[in-house]
Amino acid sequence: MAFKVVNPGLLSTVQDLGRPGYFHLGIPISGAMDRFALRAANLMVGNDEGAAALECVFLGPQLEFESDATVAVTGADMPARVDGEEKPGWTAFKVRAGQLLTFDYLKAGARIYIAISGGIATPPALGSRSTYPIGALGGVEGRPLAVGDIVPLGEGGGAAEGRSVPEALRRMPGAPAELRVLPGLYWRLITEQSGQNFFDDEWKVAPEADRMGYRFRGGRPIEFEAREQPFGAGSDPSNIVDGCYPYGSIQVPGGTEPIVLHRDAVSGGGYFTLGAVISADMDFIGQLQPHTATRFVRVDMAAALEARKERRLLLEKVRAALS
């Protein structure tokens, strides 16, 4: 039970729901950037929601199957083909031993999730199969897929063909993308006007956007309230005494370009953060392409929890539709 990597695409990694519990040692949570898409793909092929699957950004891989399997592709809009025959997204299909799974060009979104019945069975590291390349943990030898890799699969024939997530339950970011932000952390270091500008301005996803973080450009620079820098922080007004960075927190080194930290981010450092993107919107970030126009929208905790509840209900509907 395995598949062979004929072409890895641009950057394809094994991901599950992540590796919690080691953040205090600098080991990030990792896992799928779009967890909703990962869960949905797994459910369609009959896996546990958190089984390991492939996350592929911008360009699909070419995979040759060594055994029969059920496959589902979710997330970005990038049509799949089995031996050249097009297969619908968000819908389970069969691949036979010896067949080749390939992909057309990306039409929308940024990352596809390929779940395969049985789940990817590479050895877990610290309780997860998620690939964390900087720390050489998880996945195939701690790195993204490479040509010629034979990737093992777990047991399980998989679900029948044709199981599908109803169209109304599939989620992609709108245009312009809106990311809801709860101000906090070191928000108090910036001027009120700067805080307002941050939410008023239109930003664009910068080319430096990856699993560690998404950088944004185009808004006005952040200005800081005048103060004497605390001992140990460093001389730049954007510096703090090094502390932890929450998943989703927004740092603005030098006050110029906001970076939203994502699954493989550094666990801490010496830059101030002005708040965090709410948990309900983190999956969307993984589907933003460079140059996507983006607005940050100020919300309070009540709105953040309401949005989180909506996401949970959406997932429950997907579970119900596929049960």
- Which spans of this chain sit near other proteins (rule: CB under 8 A)? 20-21, 23-27, 125, 132, 134-137, 142, 182, 184-185, 187, 230-236, 239-244, 246-249, 253, 266-270, 273, 275-279, 301, 304-305, 308, 312
Q: Which is nearer to other proteins, 288 or 304 (CB)?
A: 304
User: CB of residue 273 vs other proteins: minimum separation in angstroms?
Assistant: 7
User: CB of residue 26 vs other proteins: minimum separation in angstroms?
Assistant: 4
Q: Which is nearer to other proteins, 171 or 180 (CB)?
A: 180
Report the C-alpha gap between 224 and 189 in whole angstroms: 6
Q: Which is nearer to other proteins, 157 or 254 (CB)?
A: 254
User: CB of residue 322 vs other proteins: minimum separation in angstroms?
Assistant: 21
Strand pairing of 53-57 and 108-116?
antiparallel
Q: Which is nearer to other proteins, 46 or 195 (CB)?
A: 195
Report the C-alpha gap between 160 and 35 in whole angstroms: 23
Residue linked to tokens 């933003």:
288
User: CB of residue 15 vs other proteins: minimum separation in angstroms?
Assistant: 17
User: CB of residue 296 vs other proteins: minimum separation in angstroms?
Assistant: 13
Strands laid side by side in the 108-116 sheet: 12-15, 53-57, 108-116, 69-77, 93-95
CA 74 to chain centre: 13
Report the C-alpha gap between 56 and 128 in whole angstroms: 18
Q: Which is nearer to other proteins, 19 or 111 (CB)?
A: 19
Which amino acid is located at 119 in the chain? G
Report the C-alpha gap between 145 and 68 in whole angstroms: 21
Q: Which is nearer to other proteins, 61 or 135 (CB)?
A: 135
User: CB of residue 280 vs other proteins: minimum separation in angstroms?
Assistant: 8
Q: Residue 112: which residues within 8 A CB-CB, separation 6 or more?
A: 37, 55, 56, 60, 73, 74, 75, 76, 78, 103
Give strand ranges (E) for 96-238. Answer: 100-103, 108-116, 150-152, 177-183, 203-209, 213-217
User: CB of residue 247 vs other proteins: minimum separation in angstroms?
Assistant: 7
Separation in Å, CA 133 to CA 5, 6, 144, 207, 261? 18, 21, 7, 20, 16
Which amino acid is located at 69 in the chain? A
Q: Which is nearer to other proteins, 172 or 233 (CB)?
A: 233
